[in-house]
A and B are shown apart, each in its own frame.
Chain A
Amino acid sequence: MNTSTFFEGLVHEDRVHRSIYTDAAIFEREMTHIFGAVWVYLAHESQIPKNDDFVTARLGLRPLIVTRDSQGKIHALYNRCTHRGARVCRTERGNARTFQCAYHGWTYFNTGKLRGVPWPEGYACDFKDAQFNLAQVPRVESYRGFIFGTLNLDAPSLKDYLGKITGPIDEWLDRHPGGKVEVREANRLKYKGNWKLAYDNAADGYHVVFSHRSLLEMENRMQEDPTKGMSFYMGKPDEAPMYVQYFGRGHHFKDKRPNVQKRPGALWELEAAHPGMEAFESRIKQKLGEKAGRALDLAAAVPVNINVFPNLSILGNHIQLFQPLAVDETDTTWYATVVVDEAGELGGAADEVNALRLRTQEAFPNFGEVDDAANFEEIQRGLAACEDEWVYMHRGLGIAGRVRTEPDGSLKAPATDEVFMREHMKEWKRLMASEPRISVLR
């Protein structure tokens, strides 16, 4: 059987085979044919703001050091000594011009270039030869602060790869002063399950009132009628104005903003109770008067999910990274973001906005994501039933008029449809059956 036929057999129009979540050989192939072939999110520029800053990351399973060199250029170096393979950098972040391997002392600049080895006279080779430099990701590009890398020399430019998902990303950034955010630590979670379970969930509007029932009940416990948080999913979510949109290349967007009134302060009113809410809201109103609405909305989660295949999800105010570790183990890291107000657009209230915004961002990882992760783990357990081969994702399929093709070629459907899953699975299948031209730079 050829490769293409094999993957055709695993991804059907309405369902996928369990083995794409459970088979270690398929996982290993994903690490090259998916994570080696497309642009993969690595880190945010605000994690390495100064020259010589670094942060460790991964490209698939490959350990990386993302550095900003002394000239300010960003590199994604393999964290693997050219000599014998040990990781040369063992701290997760810092500032360093060089990295010295703790095993035999080979030392590299933060550009990847070999600086020197102990007692070179014992070698017959020329260490100026680039083959001794650290390997690095040959193509590293940023889109408005988001650093991506790819090993695939035939991949399109990052901007072309992102395509129309840049529209929602731009809108997400442009609601902030100066059109930018900074990362301030993270809620770091882990589950024993395949990484795609998180990506399949990323635009899923069908699970919300079930998986997050406890969150909805908690957030609305003081309300007569539920109006807080994601309560707009209750009732008849199929008919709500929110929608899911598929942009191609595995990227999708769930936009819940149409459920919310378009006026300053409306997002803030959706927020349930958070520590410091009363005091900081009143400080912001004191400082900004009638203009407080916009500032308070910046402390509130914006109801969008912007998913960039295969490992990035921008949602609420979070930048979420999906990190596969094994076929049945995944880290999801929810980086919190804050506003930076260099031009004073927020009238000196940025600290108050951030003091609130940090607390609002703790809510979903604490009271929502843990329940999703428990459900992902239960899928992984359930999929051990090997004769029961199929996983369904056919909600909305075959219902006339349900999925519409927009003038720009994107697909739009009710937020509770699984069309986005079917589409990213088609892309997954295409990539798994293709042969990317992978290489490293030295």
Chain B
Amino acid sequence: MSYVDETFYAELVRDFSAWPDGEIGDSGTREKCRMVLHREARLLDQGRFEDWLAMYAAQCVYWVPATPGGDPRREVAVAFDDRRRLEDRVYRLRTGHAWSQAPASRTARLVSNIEVFPHSDDSVMVRSSFLLSEWRVGDKQLWSGWCGHRLSYRGGRYEIEVRQVNLIDCDQNLRNPSILL
């Protein structure tokens, strides 16, 4: 079942269009969020996609807009995955027949400039910058930009509810965007 409906879209666009200014004061929360982002980057670099999926909430979104801040109700995205499509994405990569990832890319991610902002009683918004170096079949390429995460505290851990990946060249032609960014 997809949980994406009009309300879901409206809340998503609202949360990801207005970023507050002041960071939250609690350094313990900031540290927990930093660990989530670093773990996510490491699992992706290690190709542990199932473990990475397990970091995401049952109702989640992986979103790579095609224009800065693009509204998914009105324009197509580089990627817009609910939980089911995200599982599709990983399933496809695991078939062994996804030729764009056979052989698979080798990646190294740097995640930095992490800032944590208040959102609700049990959730926070996190901004970070990334550099992703990719090598595949003789060529190296660099992906870069910033991520917005909405993390919610549930069952004693922070789950990823939304991850918005904002490529600096999101509106340009991309070569083989088949890796999980």
Contact = CB atoms under 8 A, between A and B. Distances in A.
Contact of A375 (B99, B172, B177): B99
Contact of B176 (A191, A331, A359): A191
Contacts of B137: 377
Given A186-B76, A273-B84, A366-B79, A279 B99 contact: no
B76 A187 contact: yes
A187 B170 CA distance: 9
A60 to B, nearest CB: 17
Interface in A165-200: 184-192
A141 interface: no
A275 B2 contact: yes
B4 A214 contact: no
Contacts of B173: 188-190, 331-333
Given A279-B6, A361-B76, A213 B85 contact: no
Contacts of B178: 366, 370-371, 374
B54 interface: no
Contacts of B76: 184-187, 336, 358, 361-362
A189 B88 CA distance: 21
Interface stretch (A13-21, A25-33, A215-223, A423-431): A215-223
B82 interface: yes
Contacts of A280: 5
A351 B95 contact: no
Contacts of B177: 189, 366, 370
Contacts of B85: 273-275
B80 A359 contact: yes
A440 interface: no
Interface string A324-362: 000000011100100000000000000100110011011
A217 B92 contact: yes
B2 A276 contact: yes
Nearest to B79: A366
Contact of A275 (B4, B70, B100): B4
B78 interface: yes
A218 B92 contact: yes
Interface string A409-425: 00000000000000000
Nearest to A275: B82
B5 A185 contact: no
B75 interface: yes
A187 B137 CA distance: 23
A374 B100 contact: yes
B172 A188 contact: yes
B81 interface: yes
A136 to B, nearest CB: 25
A278 interface: yes
Contacts of A377: 137
A366 B67 CA distance: 16
Given A185-B66, A185-B70, A191-B176, A371 B99 contact: yes
Contact of B95 (A188, A217, A277): A217
B97 interface: yes
B98 to A, nearest CB: 4
B91 interface: yes
A351 B2 contact: no
Central interface residue in B72, B76, B173, B174, by most chain A CB within 10 Å: B76
Contact of B91 (A213, A218, A359, A371): A218
Contacts of B93: 214
Given A191-B176, A336-B76, A362-B76, A213 B88 contact: no
A221 B88 contact: yes
B171 interface: yes
A211 interface: yes
A279 B173 CA distance: 32
A211 B4 contact: no
A394 B106 CA distance: 38
Interface in B88-118: 88-89, 91-93, 95-100
A109 interface: no
A368 to B, nearest CB: 10
B135 interface: no
A354 B72 CA distance: 10
A206 interface: no
A373 interface: yes
Contacts of A218: 88, 91-92, 95
A75 to B, nearest CB: 24
Contact of A276 (B70, B78, B82): B82
Nearest to A366: B79
User: 7 closest Cβ contacts across the A-B interface?
Assistant: A279-B5, A336-B76, A370-B100, A276-B4, A213-B97, A275-B82, A185-B75
25 contacts: A92-B171, A185-B70, A192-B175, A214-B98, A214-B99, A217-B97, A218-B91, A272-B88, A275-B61, A276-B2, A276-B5, A276-B8, A278-B1, A279-B5, A283-B6, A336-B75, A354-B73, A355-B9, A362-B76, A362-B80, A366-B79, A370-B178, A371-B99, A371-B178, A377-B137
Interface of A: 92, 184-192, 211, 213-215, 217-219, 221, 272-280, 283, 331-333, 336, 351, 354-355, 358-359, 361-362, 366-367, 370-371, 373-375, 377
